[in-house]
């Protein structure tokens, strides 16, 4: 598999000019305010007795429009006596929250681990999702990339990004979470959602770990990426020929590179130079525009979209331990 997007020296200097809508910040302020006004308190189910060494609970919280979103909370038993740092994870494209046993590594490392189900997704791989998206869409090809793409107010990822921001707010209020030490993480689509949460939630987030993040540098990605899901936009515009400018205007409100520019927490990214699903240049567009100088990127020169997999998680765990030292844990 060849390099998909040029050599590393070029990528490290890649800073595309992505138009910022004049009302970008107002759009998101109004969107989040509307969701908060309709929110109900989060609900945690009873602990699952099949995990005696951990506390595993079903989570329901209010996302966009006050709509119920599912998740998992998996945490060490030590969190019953001391407020504990949290890692909030978002899932890759068309995966769902699955089963809690799939993701025990953060809790086993001493963190409260919160996994968000992605509304409407969860039937493409893994073990399923449990959150419907009760909103319709105009004409769209298969997939999620063009649902509601006729206007920012209607776009699918407006709802998903709002769900993510609302989840951070609710996690910060959980009694067993140290609200000063909340990290966001995710691979591919999950990495793009993590960047959105970081950009929208400001100082509520203390660390950001986007792994081969999707949903960045939309126009270049749609024009140049050979593989799905960005090709969903190509198929849409091949039919809706007069909609090019309006489509990319809509997408600019959700571009991970613009979201990254609003983020302020320390960050560790990853990129794979042979990735034909998320172009390395789109990852560097977000990395190079990121709003904190406290950022680094792991480069996997001979990998595709799988990136570093558990090797990257080991790197994240070391990096996060440096920022969330255990000795400052406080009693509940």
- C-alpha 204: how far from chain center: 15
Given the residues 130, 135, 240, 305, the one annotated as active site: 305
236 among the known binding-site residues? no
Has 305 been annotated as catalytic? yes
Task: Report the run of H or E that residue 179 belongs to, with start and end.
Answer: strand 177-187
Has 22 been annotated as catalytic? no
Has 275 been annotated as catalytic? yes
Q: CB-based contacts of 3: which residues, under 8 Å, 6+ apart?
A: 273, 274
Pairing, β 112-116 against β 82-90 = parallel
DSSP 262-324: H--S-EEEEEETT-SSS-HHHHHHHHHH-S-S-EEEEEETT--TTTTTHHHHHHHHHHHHHHS
Residue 262 contacts residue 291 (beta carbons within 8 Å): yes
Bridge partners, 116 (sequence order): 71
Given the residues 275, 281, 282, 289, the one annotated as active site: 275
Length of the chain: 332
Given the residues 62, 79, 188, 281, the one annotated as active site: 188
φ/ψ of 95, rounded to 5, equals -100, 160
Which residues contribute to the annotated binding site? 93
What positions carry a catalytic annotation?
188, 275, 305
Q: Which residues define the annotated binding site for substrate?
A: 93
């Amino acid at each position: 598999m060849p390099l998909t997007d040029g050599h590393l020296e070029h990528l490290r200097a890649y800073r595309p000019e992505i138009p910022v809508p004049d009302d970008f910040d107002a759009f998101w302020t109004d969107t989040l305010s509307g969701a908060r006004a309709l929110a109900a308190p989060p609900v945690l189910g009873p602990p699952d007795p099949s995990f005696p060494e951990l506390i595993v609970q079903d989570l329901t919280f209010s996302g966009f429009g006050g709509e119920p979103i599912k998740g998992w909370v998996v945490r060490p038993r030590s969190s019953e006596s001391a407020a504990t740092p949290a890692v909030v994870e978002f899932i890759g494209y068309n995966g769902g929250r699955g089963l809690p046993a799939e993701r025990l590594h953060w809790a086993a490392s001493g963190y409260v681990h919160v996994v968000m189900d992605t509304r409407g997704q969860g039937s493409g791989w893994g073990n399923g999702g449990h959150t419907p998206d009760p909103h319709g869409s105009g004409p769209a090809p298969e997939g999620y990339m063009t649902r509601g793409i006729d206007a920012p107010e209607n776009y699918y990822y407006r709802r998903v990004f709002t769900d993510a921001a609302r989840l951070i707010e609710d996690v910060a209020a959980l009694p067993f979470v140290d609200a000063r030490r909340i990290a966001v993480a995710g691979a591919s689509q999950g990495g793009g959602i993590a960047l959105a949460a970081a950009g929208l939630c400001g100082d509520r987030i203390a660390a950001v770990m986007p792994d081969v993040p999707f949903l960045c540098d939309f126009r270049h990605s749609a024009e140049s990426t050979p593989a799905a899901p960005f090709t969903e936009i190509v198929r849409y515009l091949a039919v809706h020929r007069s909609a090019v400018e309006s489509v990319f205007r809509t997408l600019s409100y959700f571009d991970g590179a613009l979201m990254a520019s609003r983020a302020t927490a320390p960050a560790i990214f990853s990129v794979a130079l042979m990735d034909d699903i998320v172009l390395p240049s789109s990852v560097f567009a977000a990395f190079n525009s990121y709003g904190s100088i406290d950022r680094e990127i792991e480069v996997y020169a001979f990998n595709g979209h799988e990136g570093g997999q558990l090797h990257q998680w080991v790197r994240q765990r070391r990096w996060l331990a440096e920022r969330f030292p255990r000795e400052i844990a406080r009693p509940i």
